[in-house]
């Protein structure tokens, strides 16, 4: 603000007097909005790192999805001691399995792609790692389908090839549906990028407004008065000093300005009420939440009454967002690990361990218990339980 005022009130060295036909104008123009790009770095910076709505959406999804255990089966019984289950629970020496899966789901939401690496010893997976998607390049063959991956970390490149004979690969690539690219996924954050920009720019505008005496941009126009058609040098310097010292900055917000000698304030931008930035930011926040599949009620966004209470919103979040995501992940991990641990391996999320779904599970058991026309074996099968031992 001070720099702009200084430039506005600085006369040219050879300009001793102002022409009587030109009024004095103190001009302060607002900055141009800077819209973020659509690459991974820009989305991460403007979205996850600088937007509280995106940050909370990604954290909610990644932490919730990572909390769901993956069950390994060879038949109908979940086997915690299965080699595939032990591998998935092992993690690595620097991160636990939960931290790895949180990173994997977070990368998936921010970049649309998630990569897991299996550290192999004698062809057997022994440790699990989550890799950054911006460092990974997909290597495609002549037919356009991926044949391997190249990971570039600080100039050190590693290549991972898929064994054509055994179909084994140290890299598992999971991507969200992308209608215009066969190799890379499309992230929810990219779909909500415009809403993120609106939300961020609204916050920057509000901060700049507070820093500029909590008033929109405008101009001081000298119309002349008391027989004078221009400001004297003394009047010019005094006006400049008062604007800089008494009417600039958040500490002077709301201080009235006394205009005299033909000075008039002309607003040159819309007022906050006209622009309605608060409602615009809330609408942008709801659009961001919609792209990620998070009910706005869970984010504390006012004005959204789609759900009668918090419990219904939470159940909808789990059923419509988390459960499909972990089921897709489990099926992808199953296809990735079968060449290592056997084609009879089956992976599925253990939804019985999810506290948010206990009421639905109890309602299912109540319905099955009341169905007298079903046998005990049929009830157990419909409930997803193994057959009772004789």
Q: What is the pTM of this model?
A: 0.75
Distance, in Å, from the CA atom of 353 to the CA atom of 371, rounded to the nearest integer, reads 25
* Helix 277-292 with 52-66: angle, nearest 10 deg: 20
**161, 164, 166, 172: CA torsion to nearest 10:** 40
Is the pLDDT at 327 greater than 70? The verdict is yes
Residue 31: per-residue pLDDT? 40
Q: 188 near 226, Cβ under 8 Å?
A: no
Distance, in Å, from the CA atom of 295 to the CA atom of 313, rounded to the nearest integer, reads 6
H/E element, 224: none
Greater confidence, 250 or 159? 159
> Quick one: pLDDT band at residue 170, thresholds 50, 70, 90?
very high
The reply to whether 367 falls in a domain is no
List pLDDT tens digits, range 23-38: 444 433 344 444 444 6
The reply to whether 218 falls in a domain is yes
User: Which among 279, 342, 302, 315 has a CA at the least distance from the CA of 84?
Assistant: 342
Q: Which residues pair with 106 in a beta bridge?
A: none
Greater confidence, 227 or 138? 138
% of the chain at pLDDT higher than 90: 41
The reply to whether 30 falls in a domain is yes
Q: Which residues pair with 138 in a beta bridge?
A: 149
Sign of CA dihedral 160, 162, 166, 171: positive
Is the pLDDT at 78 greater than 70? The verdict is yes
Q: Which residues pair with 119 in a beta bridge?
A: 127
* Helix 52-66 with 97-111: angle, nearest 10 deg: 140
Mean pLDDT of 162-170: 88
> Quick one: pLDDT band at residue 18, thresholds 50, 70, 90?
very low
Q: How many CB atoms lie within 10 A of CB 70?
A: 20
Report CA-CA distances (Å) from 366 to 51, 358, 359, 378, 381.
44, 12, 11, 14, 15
Distance, in Å, from the CA atom of 324 to the CA atom of 68, rounded to the nearest integer, reads 12
Mean pLDDT of 230-244: 71
DSSP string, 312-338: HHHHHHIIIIIHHHHHHHHHHHHHHHH
The first and second tokens of residue 310, run together, are: 């918090």
The first and second tokens of residue 258, run together, are: 């006394």
The reply to whether 345 falls in a domain is no
- How many independent structural domains does the chain possess? 1
Greater confidence, 364 or 275? 364
The reply to whether 379 falls in a domain is no
Q: Which residues pair with 348 in a beta bridge?
A: 71
- Could you give phi then psi for residue 192, rounded to 5 degrees? -100, 15
Sign of CA dihedral 189, 190, 192, 194: positive
H/E element, 311: helix 310-317
- Could you give phi then psi for residue 178, rounded to 5 degrees? -130, 115
Distance, in Å, from the CA atom of 210 to the CA atom of 207, rounded to the nearest integer, reads 5
List pLDDT tens digits, range 337-360: 999 999 999 999 988 888 887 777
Which residues, 6+ apart, have CB-to-CB distance to 118 below 8 Å?
87, 125, 126, 127, 128, 129, 170, 171, 172, 340
The reply to whether 235 falls in a domain is yes
Greater confidence, 291 or 302? 291
Overall residue count recorded for the chain in this entry: 390
Residue 187: per-residue pLDDT? 93
The reply to whether 285 falls in a domain is no
Q: 140 near 146, Cβ under 8 Å?
A: yes
The domain of 228 spans 2-34+194-278
Buried b (16+ CB within 10 A) or exposed e, 115-125: bbbbeeeeeeb
């Amino acid at each position: 603000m001070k720099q702009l005022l200084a430039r506005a009130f600085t006369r040219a060295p050879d300009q001793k007097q102002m022409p009587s036909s030109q009024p004095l104008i103190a001009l302060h123009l607002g900055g141009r909005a800077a819209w973020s790009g659509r690459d991974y770095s820009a989305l991460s910076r403007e979205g996850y790192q600088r937007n509280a709505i995106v940050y909370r959406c990604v954290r909610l999804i990644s932490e919730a999805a990572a909390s769901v255990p993956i069950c390994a089966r060879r038949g109908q019984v979940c086997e915690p001691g299965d080699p595939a289950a032990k591998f998935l629970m092992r993690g690595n020496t620097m991160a636990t399995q939960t931290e790895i899966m949180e990173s994997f789901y977070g990368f998936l939401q921010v970049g649309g792609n998630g990569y897991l690496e299996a550290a192999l010893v004698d062809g057997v997976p022994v440790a699990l790692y989550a890799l950054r998607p911006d460092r990974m390049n997909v290597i495609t063959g002549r037919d356009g389908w991926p044949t391997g991956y190249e990971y570039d970390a600080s100039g050190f490149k590693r290549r991972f090839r898929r064994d054509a004979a055994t179909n084994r690969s140290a890299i598992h690539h999971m991507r969200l549906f992308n209608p215009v690219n066969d190799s890379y996924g499309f992230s929810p954050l990219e779909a909500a990028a415009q809403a993120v920009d609106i939300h961020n720019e609204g916050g920057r505008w509000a901060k700049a407004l507070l820093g500029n005496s909590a008033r929109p941009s405008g101009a001081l126009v000298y119309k002349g008065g008391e027989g004078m058609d221009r400001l004297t040098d003394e009047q010019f310097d005094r006006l400049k000093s008062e604007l800089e010292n008494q009417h600039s900055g958040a500490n002077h917000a709301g201080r009235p300005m006394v205009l005299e000698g033909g000075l008039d304030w002309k607003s040159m931008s819309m007022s906050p009420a006209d622009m309605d930035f608060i409602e615009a930011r809330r609408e942008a926040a709801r659009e961001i939440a919609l792209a990620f599949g998070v009910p706005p009620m869970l984010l504390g966004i006012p004005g959204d009454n789609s759900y009668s209470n918090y419990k219904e919103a939470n159940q909808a979040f789990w059923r419509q967002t988390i459960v499909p995501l972990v089921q897709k992940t489990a099926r992808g991990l199953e296809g990735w690990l079968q060449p290592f641990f056997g084609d009879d391996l089956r992976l599925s999320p253990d939804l019985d361990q999810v506290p948010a779904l206990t009421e639905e599970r109890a309602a299912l058991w109540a319905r099955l218990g009341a169905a007298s026309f079903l046998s005990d074996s049929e009830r157990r099968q419909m409930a997803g339980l193994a057959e009772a031992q004789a």
